[in-house]
Structures are given as C-alpha cells and as structure tokens.
C-alpha cells in the first residue's frame, strides 16, 4: 500500500515546526497527464489546444488536457486533498506557486526514451522532465534554503506515468529504428533499464513516495482498432502492455527494497480498464470502441477538431478521442487506483472513491461555443 498516512503526519509535523513545508505533487508523464505544457511548445504537433478539448472543465475552453474533463492524476489528487500542480511551462508559474501546488511536467507525445514521439517535433521526454525538475529544485533552494528544500522535496508525492508512447509512437512504427533494432523482450528490457536509471535519479533528488502508473490495454484504443483489419483490439499491442506492467512492477519492488526510505509503488489498472472496454454497459457506458469526438466517417481523425462531431452523451463514452479516455473513464480508473492503494486524504481521513465530477453536457448544442 502507498502509505499516504505519512502525508497526514508530515502536515501535522509541519504545522508544529512552523508550517513552512506543504505536501504537494510532482507529476511526470505524457498526454494522459499533460495539463498544458505542450500548449506552450509552439512547434509541437501534439497539442490539446483546440475545441472541444476541455469542454467539461472549468470554462469549457481548451486547457491543455487531452480529454474533455479531468485526468486520472487530477481526480486522485482531488480525492486525497492534494492541490493540482500547474504546468511547468505555464508563464504564471512562480516559486511561491511551486511551494503551494507542486509542478506538472507531463508532455503529450513524451516517452521514457528520448527518441519516442520524434515526429511530434516538440515534446518533453522523461529525461527532459527530470532535467526541468532539477531546475525547479534550484529555484526552491534559492527561495527557502537547502535544509528546508530537502525536507520539502522528500515529503512531496511523485507520479510517473509514461510508456504508451514508447510503443505506439516508437516501437510499433517502422519509421523508428527501435522497431527493427529490438524484439518485444529486448525492447522492454531497454525500457526497464532506462526507467530504472530515471527513477534512481529521482530518488537521488529527494523522491521518497512515488507511484508509477501502468499501461492499460492500449491495443483497444480507437486508433489501434481502426488500423486493424477487423476493428477488434490488437492483441499484440495488449500483450506488450501486460509485459511492460509485469516488468515495471518487479522494478518498483526492487527499487523500494534497495533505495533508502523509498516507497515506490506500481499502479496497475489494466484489468479494470480491460473489463470496462469488454463490458461497457456493466459500468454505465454504451460505447467503448470509438471516440466521442470524431470527424464523421473519416477515421482515424488523430485529434479532436472544432469541426468534429461530438457524441450525444459524453458520459457514456469510454474514449474521448482516438487515443485518450473521457472524463468518465478517467474517474473510473482513478476510483480503482484509490481503492487498490487505500489512499487517505492529507487530513488522515479515508479518500472518497472519486472526486465530484463535472456536469457533462448531453449534446453539442448544450456545450459552450469554441469562442467560450
């Protein structure tokens, strides 16, 4: 179990010692966790900057999230009482905001490997995200000094959620040399060797409470289905996700046992997501094989566009676009992870199964216009 009871204790101790340290999150990830970094990468081809992204979040305008509402990390953070970390590239980010809310470095198209997602032109790989985190640490050290900074970073929570792009936008595409340099097992070995070095580096930078999110059945995303000859899930891709999850779980166990004071956990929601896709009606969905936001009969439409057509009821679709889950699906995934890890709120009480969800409009006619 991920001992978030320690978080409550840390807050209590901080209040006794003067309250200078607040528990926050530092999030490293890809488009499933991006909250706006790629919107500030002007040349990036992986952006959620057009309507109808963000339609069920805040004012309904695009905010950089690759979904209609919240990310899984948003929902888990809300449920446990942690603040939502702003995007690192947000121009309004300051050292005071970092101390209050943490930082999100996630970048659409990014991967564990530097070469992943190269055709997006601009994206932040995990190595680059860790490099930016080092810069964040220097900012905080300059602000509050080394001793308080060490305490702040060691008491913070860390999320690492990457890997799907390393397959979908690298290994499974012949335009990348990794697709012919490796076989399935040697590629996963390469990923694990790289990820281990990255997690060890994060530990050296102070990460003690860290969770790595596993991959879902990525062979069942609408893009993979429409590119298959049958319209069914691509089992080869799903087997790669399962192999990645198994290897990652072993890696996290090893690091937790070997690194000082490390509580590194693996968050696996593959089974529940697979069940949702296989039995959508059981979970209140009525579509699990096509995107809510689509461009008529043109498939795949690789992104949701202002001219796209939205499904009648967004709460009933598992997928928002060709790649990404809807807010409703993200809530279900978050609920499973909260239950699996027994997360508690920062005040020590049990986390609710999920945070309140936004009101989802039932049809495009009820949604805000692209102009807001």
Whose tokens are 């076989």? That residue is 183
40 an active-site residue? no
User: d(Cα 10, Cα 5) in Å, to the nearest integer?
Assistant: 9
324 an active-site residue? yes
For residues 314-330, one letter each, b for 16 or more C-beta atoms within 10 angstroms of the residue's C-beta and e for the rest, the string is bbbbbbbbbbbbbbbbb
Whose tokens are 């049958």? That residue is 230
Three-state secondary-structure class, residue 244: helix
- The string of DSSP codes covering 157-210 is EEEEE--HHHIIIIITSTTSTHHHH--HHHHHHHHHHHHHHHHHHHHHTT--EE
Q: Where are the beta strands (DSSP E) in the chain?
A: 25-29, 102-104, 157-161, 209-213, 263-267, 287-291, 293-294, 309-310, 317-319
User: d(Cα 28, Cα 134) in Å, to the nearest integer?
Assistant: 13
Q: Active-site residue among 33, 321, 326, 327?
A: 321
Three-state secondary-structure class, residue 290: strand
15 an active-site residue? no
Q: Active-site residue among 149, 324, 326, 354?
A: 324
Q: Active-site residue among 31, 156, 326, 354?
A: 31
Give 65's contacts (C-beta < 8 A, 6+ positions apart).
34, 35, 36, 48, 53, 54, 57, 71, 74
User: d(Cα 191, Cα 116) in Å, to the nearest integer?
Assistant: 11
Instruction: List, in sequence order, every residue forming a beta bridge with 28; answer none if it has no partner.
Output: 160
Of 301, 358, 308, nearest to 328 by C-alpha is: 358
Instruction: List, in sequence order, every residue forming a beta bridge with 294; answer none if it has no partner.
Output: 309
Whose tokens are 């956990």? That residue is 265
The catalytic residue positions are 31, 321, 324
């Amino acid at each position: 179990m991920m001992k978030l009871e320690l978080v409550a204790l840390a807050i209590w101790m901080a209040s006794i010692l003067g309250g200078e340290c607040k528990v926050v999150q530092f999030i490293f990830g890809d488009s499933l966790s991006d909250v706006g970094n790629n919107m500030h990468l002007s040349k990036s081809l992986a952006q959620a900057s057009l309507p109808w992204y963000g339609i069920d979040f805040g004012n309904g305008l695009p905010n950089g999230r690759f979904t209609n509402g919240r990310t899984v990390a948003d929902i888990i953070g809300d449920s446990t009482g942690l603040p939502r970390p702003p995007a690192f590239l947000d121009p309004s980010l300051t050292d005071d905001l970092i101390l209050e809310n943490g930082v999100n470095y996630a970048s659409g198209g990014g991967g564990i490997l530097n070469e992943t997602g190269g055709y997006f032109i601009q994206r932040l790989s995990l190595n680059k995200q860790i490099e930016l985190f080092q810069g964040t640490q220097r900012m905080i050290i300059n602000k509050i000094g080394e001793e308080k900074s060490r305490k702040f970073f060691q008491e913070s929570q860390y999320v690492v959620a990457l890997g799907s792009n390393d397959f979908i936008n690298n290994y499974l595409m012949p335009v990348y040399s990794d697709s012919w340099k490796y076989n399935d097992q040697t590629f996963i070995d390469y990923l694990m060797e790289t990820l281990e070095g990255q997690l060890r580096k994060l530990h050296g930078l102070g990460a003690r409470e860290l969770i790595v999110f596993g991959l879902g059945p990525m062979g069942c995303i609408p893009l993979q289905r429409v590119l298959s000859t049958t319209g069914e899930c691509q089992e080869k891709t799903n087997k790669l996700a399962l192999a990645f999850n198994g290897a990652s779980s072993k890696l996290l166990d090893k690091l937790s046992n070997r690194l000082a004071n490390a509580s590194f956990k693996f968050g696996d929601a593959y089974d529940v997501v697979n069940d949702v896709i296989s039995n959508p009606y059981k979970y209140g969905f009525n579509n699990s094989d096509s995107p809510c936001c689509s461009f008529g009969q043109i498939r795949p439409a690789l992104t949701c566009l202002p001219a796209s057509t939205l499904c009648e009821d967004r709460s009933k679709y598992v997928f928002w676009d060709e790649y990404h889950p809807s807010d409703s699906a993200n809530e279900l995934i978050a609920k499973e992870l909260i239950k699996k890890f027994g997360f508690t709120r920062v005040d020590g009480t049990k986390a609710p199964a999920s945070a309140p969800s936004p009101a989802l409009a039932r049809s495009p006619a009820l949604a805000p216009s692209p102009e807001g």
